[in-house]
Amino acid sequence: MLRYLSPFAVLCSMIFASACAHTPAPTSSDRSTSQDGEVLQQLREGNIRFTSHQRIHPNQQPLRRQELTKGQAPGAIVVSCSDSRVPPEFVFDQGLGDIFSIRTAGHAVDAFALASVEYAIEHLDAKVIVVMGHTSCGAIKATMASVPGESTGSRNIDLLVASIRPGLKHLDRKDKTLRADAIDNVEATRVALERGSPFIHAAVEKGKVRIVAALYDLDSGDVELWE
């Protein structure tokens, strides 16, 4: 039995079909952009709670620990300094399983740090890499105090200083917070992540992961994020 459709109904059907045909399905890049935006918003909100003394200490309950025995899916990779005053989970008010944290002096990245970032992207599907420096960084102070061509007395510290020095453009000794130098160092680490790993570079190019820079202020507790 044929059903009669009025001209108006036929027209509506045609418009609906046309709209469906021309509305692009969300791509993996679109979905990734949405997800990385949500992750960054969570970090921003967490830092506001931290600086306003309203931390909620999320995801730290026994149930959360049990959930994480089945696996982890941190939204953010935070590459930051080993400094005891700058623990990412504290300054962003995050909990267990929320941040894949990689910490080295001056957030310098070596093969092991790069491998850690690659693992979090490939196997944990992390959406954002946050490179976070901080004011009054001891690694930067050590670099500025060292004499080029002379050893600090430690082969390992020599390697650290050698990795940091090329990225410092300001060398502003008048500013005790070394803010400009810390920003230089963050930008240098961002570059080192992509240059040091074709895998990370490809993931960024494909929109699978996003690299964001950050600076933590030791005095205020604020984290400034930028791209």
pLDDT string in tens for the chain (227-residue length):
334 444 444 334 443 333 333 334 334 444 445 788 999 999 999 999 999 999 999 999 999 999 999 999 999 999 999 999 999 999 999 999 999 999 999 999 999 999 999 999 999 999 999 999 999 999 999 999 999 999 999 999 999 999 999 999 988 778 899 999 999 999 999 999 999 999 999 999 999 999 999 999 999 999 999 99
pLDDT, position 174: 82
- Left if phi > 0, otherwise alpha if psi is -120 to 50, otherwise beta: which for 107? left
- Left if phi > 0, otherwise alpha if psi is -120 to 50, otherwise beta: which for 57? left
Eight-class DSSP state of 183: H
pLDDT, position 33: 55
Distance CA(92)–CA(77), nearest Å, equals 12
Distance CA(178)–CA(219), nearest Å, equals 13
Q: Is residue 140 within 8 Å of residue 173, measured between CB atoms?
A: no
Tokens of 213: 């820079």
pLDDT, position 60: 94
pLDDT, position 87: 97
Nearest to 224 by CA among 168, 193, 182, 171: 182
Q: Which residues contact 70 (CB under 8 A, 6 or more apart)?
A: none
What's the pTM?
A: 0.84
Q: Is residue 101 within 8 Å of residue 80, measured between CB atoms?
A: yes
Q: Which domains does the chain have, with CATH numbers?
A: 27-226 (3.40.1050.10)
Question: How far apart, in Å, do the first and last CA atoms of the chain sit?
Answer: 62
Pair type for strands 99-104 and 76-81: parallel
Distance CA(183)–CA(186), nearest Å, equals 5
Q: Is residue 64 within 8 Å of residue 95, measured between CB atoms?
A: yes
Nearest to 140 by CA among 193, 183, 103: 183
pLDDT, position 42: 96
